[in-house]
Structure 1
Amino acid sequence: MLYKFIDLFAGIGGIRLAFEPYGECVFSCEWDLKAQETYEANFGEKPVGDIRSVDEKEVPDHDILLAGFPCQPFSIAGVSKKKSLGREHGFLDETQGTLFFDIARIIKEKQPKAFLLENVKNLRSHDKGKTFKIIKKVLEEELGYTVYADVLNAKGLVPQNRERIYIVGFKKPLKFDFPEIPKEGPALHEILEKDVEDKYTLSDKLWDYLQAYKEKHSKKGNGFGYGLADLNSYSRTLSARYYKDGSEILIPQGEGINPRRLTPRECARLQGFPETFKIVVSNTAAYKQFGNSVAVPVVRLIAEKMVQAIERDETIEDTVEEGRVEYATT
């Protein structure tokens, strides 16, 4: 069976790539103009802009909702006012003004069979755990989905230490297990280009600064500073700030030669994008885009597991009070 899915907070389409073998993307949304350029170059469509201006009723019907949404604190402003007026309020009200609210209102209107949300690992502890708690309650109690969440590290599939939280939900109480990610993965040297332009090598000035900065902080007993990568292992996490100086992942080039930063193509490989993926923006924009993206092979395994769960159609037997499904997390 082929599934219709939508791609919210789409970035450059990493999550979409993972789901394309299982169906058709019928709607995409991404506000960043440079990311829209990359997305259009690779998928032939320009995403809609600001999700806050999207009418949920006009979103096409779909089976699976995908969203790598930003992490924001939830304000409870207005809740006490509603109480004082004798009005009922729900957790959904508490999320107004945040981008998660826009996901929730689309789910509420369109009732997809399943969804996948992706976020930084720290979503669980964000705002002393309140953010995650409200998200969970909205998805389970108000929207009626069976929810699973886990933090997965991509380093068994790509040569990068990258932990992210994935939240999977089903309209039916389906059994679901997250994929097992291998403990050992490819080595960093396997994704490096053979001939790299000199412009990627750090200048003497920048290299001297990074070394002095690291030395200053090491004397204070903390680990701030650049990261010289082990080419036979995996790198640190690629971030959106990589364009600034590349300091978190520096590639050694031998005695007497300054290290270099990764090329945009190497960043694409570090995130598991195919060689055919087109990079049509400046290096600065490309670094931001790949740093903000997902590790595609991880999402590909989750997509496979989600589709299997839908097609197997096995439901959970264990329920908690009031008929709610046990929230599964590790």
Structure 2
Amino acid sequence: MNELELLAQNLIAQNEKDQQNKLEEDKALIKKLVEIYDQKYVAEALRAVSHNDWTRETLNRWLNGKTAQKPFTALEVKMLNRLLPEPPKNHPNYNFRFIDLFAGIGGIRKGFEDIGGQCVFTSEWNKDAVRTYKANWYCDSQNHKFNSDIREITLSDNDKISEQEAYDNIDREIPDHDVLLAGFPCQPFSLAGVSKKNSLGRAHGFECETQGTLFFDVARIIASKKPAIFLLENVKNLKSHDKGNTFRVIMNTLDELGYIVSDAEHIGSDDPKVIDGKHFLPQHRERIVLVGFRRDLNIDKGFTLRNIKNSYPSRRPTIHEILDEKVENKYILSPLLWKYLYNYAKKHQAKGNGFGFGMVYPENPESVARTLSARYHKDGSEILIDRGWDMNLGEIDFDDKNNQENRPRRLTPRECARLMGFESPTGTQFRIPVSDTQAYRQFGNSVVVPVFAAVAKLLEPYIAKAIEQDKKKKVA
């Protein structure tokens, strides 16, 4: 073999290797996308920039090696990458690290990324919520871990595991972080089995009182990782659940773990820990926010959630501004459903119980919606958009054509995204890769994004102090 033949052979071998690597990269990209989007949607994206007639079927055969695999063109790869979230503006120069527990679709995360934080761990068990989360938030596989069931990390569902073994597993599985975020679900605190555990000498303190709840998993993570600061979010009724016993246990637990909770002394109606989203967007949505500082850092002085009022927008967006000019007819209530809701409201008005639905009026700049809930997909009754129906609950002819043309409608998922602050009408669109039903559930279970962006902004200087204090402790 002469010199040219040897050179050619090497080049051919290298080209084959490069092509194989390219195919593996393309396949990895497609696998990442079909975890988020329907294969039909991915095929449509490819067809938009390709001469190939991609379909759900041809894409599936390509992915499973049942047809000849050709590398994607540069334009196709560019299009596919556009379907994935871009790194945040601070990437890779982050100021601090945080984790996102019970993350939902990431409503709390945005504010902490905006102040320079890097999310290094996310936990969310709902598969559809994970799709939406991954479609919108950058999850670097090298510097970010994704977990589904947090109990796989805390080992709280395994009675044969000792507390120390659980803490050790948490320490291995969850990266070190400065801030812990958790919108944990509120479950009844069960004391069943406590006596037995005490007799075995196993449970003590919060390990006893909070066992069996998802707050217990958060507490175990705090106990193991000892973040400088945490932010916990829940419904306002957490304070009154079980005549206040649930909230008492939570506050005592956080104190036992060595944390000072901001505004802990306020328990009345004027509680700064309860924040209403209506100050930022036209939706009445009260949530309790618990911000805790590790006691040994001594950095909590001066922090109060009362100062969030300084972040209220000078002008709150109106209902009209978050609505689309035209929507599909499927979002207008059917004649049968509207008749039922209307008569239901009429019946309850006669009993003095108020309306059975919540109507908002786009032409009224002061109109504020009720709280969007996860059940919104059922009938949309808590937030109906007025389209000119006469709201005098008298005798109405439901067969009248003019009346029927003005039936109210429900919000679209895109409008829900705006009502929750995930996007603005003129800003970057929030990706919704799931069905309308799942989207309504996800937005109804989420938080008003600008509320937590404002809390993050309040915390920014305290996070900096915490990192500085931790550095000093490590040097000492």
Verify same fold: TM over 0.5: yes
1:142-200: per-residue Cα shift (whole Å, max 9, x none)? 21001125000111111101100000001133121111164973221111111111111
The structure whose Rg is larger is 2
Query: Residue 99 of structure 2 corresponds to which residue in structure 1?
Result: 6
Residue-by-residue CA offset, 1:47-105 (whole Å, 9 max, x unaligned): 41111111412111100000101011112223334555677721332111110010010
Q: Where do residues 146-295 of structure 1 align in structure 2 (5 Å cutoff)? A: 146-148=260-262, 150-171=273-294, 172-173=297-298, 174-175=300-301, 176-178=303-305, 179-180=308-309, 182=312, 185-231=316-362, 232=365, 233-255=367-389, 256=403, 257-274=406-423, 275-295=428-448
The 1:312–1:212 alpha-carbon spacing in structure 2 relative to 1, beyond 3 Å, is same
Letter in 1 for 2:150: I
Partners of 1:77 and 1:94 within 8 A in 2: no
Contact 1:72 1:131 in 2 (8 A): no
Q: Secondary structure at the match of 1:14?
A: coil
**Alpha carbons of structure 1 residues 26 and 312: separation in structure 2 relative to 1, 3 Å:** closer
Q: Separation in 2 of the partners of 1:280 and 1:305?
A: 32
8 Å CA contact 1:155–1:162 kept in 2: the answer is: yes
Alignment pair present for 1:19 and 2:112: yes
Q: CA RMSD in A?
A: 1.9
Q: How far 1:206 moved relative to its partner?
A: 0.5
Match of 1:304 in 2: 457
SS at match of 2:359: coil
Letter in 1 for 2:103: A
Deviation at 1:44, TM superposition (A): 4.3
Q: Post-superposition shift, 1:40?
A: 1.0
Q: Which amino acid aligns with 1:156?
A: H
TM-score, normalised with respect to structure 2:
0.63
Structure 2 runs not aligned, ≥5 long: 1-93, 140-144, 154-168, 264-272, 390-402, 467-476
Q: What is the CA–CA distance in structure 2 between the aligned matches of 1:41 and 1:83, rounded to whole Å?
A: 46
CA contact (8 A) 1:147 1:169 kept: yes
Bigger Cα displacement from structure 2, 149-158 vs 118-127: 149-158
Partners of 1:271 and 1:82 lie apart in 2 by 43
CA distance in structure 1 between the aligned counterparts of 2:202 and 2:152, rounded to whole angstroms: 27
Whole-angstrom CA distance in 1 between matches of 2:201 and 2:231: 36
Q: 2:233 aligns with which of 113, 118, 125?
A: 118
CA-CA distance at 1:214 after TM superposition: 1.1
Letter in 2 for 1:52: R
Q: Is the 8 A contact 2:223 2:257 kept in 1?
A: yes
Aligned partners of 1:56 and 1:89: how far apart in 2? Answer: 19
Q: Is the contact made by 2:206 and 2:216 (CA closer than 8 Å) also made in structure 1?
A: no
Aligned partners of 2:318 and 2:127: how far apart in 1?
Answer: 34
How far apart in 1 are the matches of 2:185 and 2:96? 25
Identity in percent: 59
Q: Would you tell me which structure has more helix in proportion to its own residues?
A: 2
Distance 1:269 1:88, change over 3 A: closer
The question of 1:92 aligning with 2:223 is answered: no
3-state secondary structure, aligned to 2:245? helix
> What's the offset of the Cα at 1:221?
2.2
Are 2:123 and 2:149, in contact at CA under 8 Å, matched by a contact in 1?
yes
Looking at structure 2, the residues matched to 34 and 277 of structure 1 have their Cα atoms a distance apart, in angstroms, of 15
Q: Against the structure 1 CA distance between its residues 182 and 151, is the aligned structure 2 distance closer, same or farther, given a 3 Å change threshold?
A: same
- Which secondary structure state, in structure 1, belongs to the residue aligned with residue 291 of structure 2? strand
Match of 2:268 in 1: none
Q: Which amino acid aligns with 1:215?
A: K
Q: Which residue of 2 aligns with 1:60?
A: 175
Tell me the number of residue pairs that the alignment of Structure 1 and Structure 2 aligns.
312
* Corresponding residue to 1:48 among 147, 153, 156: 147
| Cross-structure match for 1:35 | 129
Give the aligned partner of residue 324 of structure 1: none
Structure 2 CA distance, aligned partners of 1:291 and 1:136? 26
TM-score, normalising length: structure 1: 0.89
Verify the 8 A CA contact 1:37 1:281 in the aligned structure 2: yes
Aligned partners of 1:84, 1:24: CA distance in 2, in Å?
A: 43
Q: More deviation in 47-56 or 97-106?
A: 47-56
CA distance in 2, matches of 1:199, 1:48: 36
Structure 1 unaligned regions, length at least 5: 314-330
SS in 1 for 2:184: coil
The one-letter code matched in structure 2 to 1:250 is: L
CA distance in 1, matches of 2:134, 2:203: 43
Tell me, in whole angstroms, the C-alpha distance in 1 between the residues paired with 2:234 and 2:290: 8
* Shift of residue 310, structure 1, vs aligned partner: 3.1
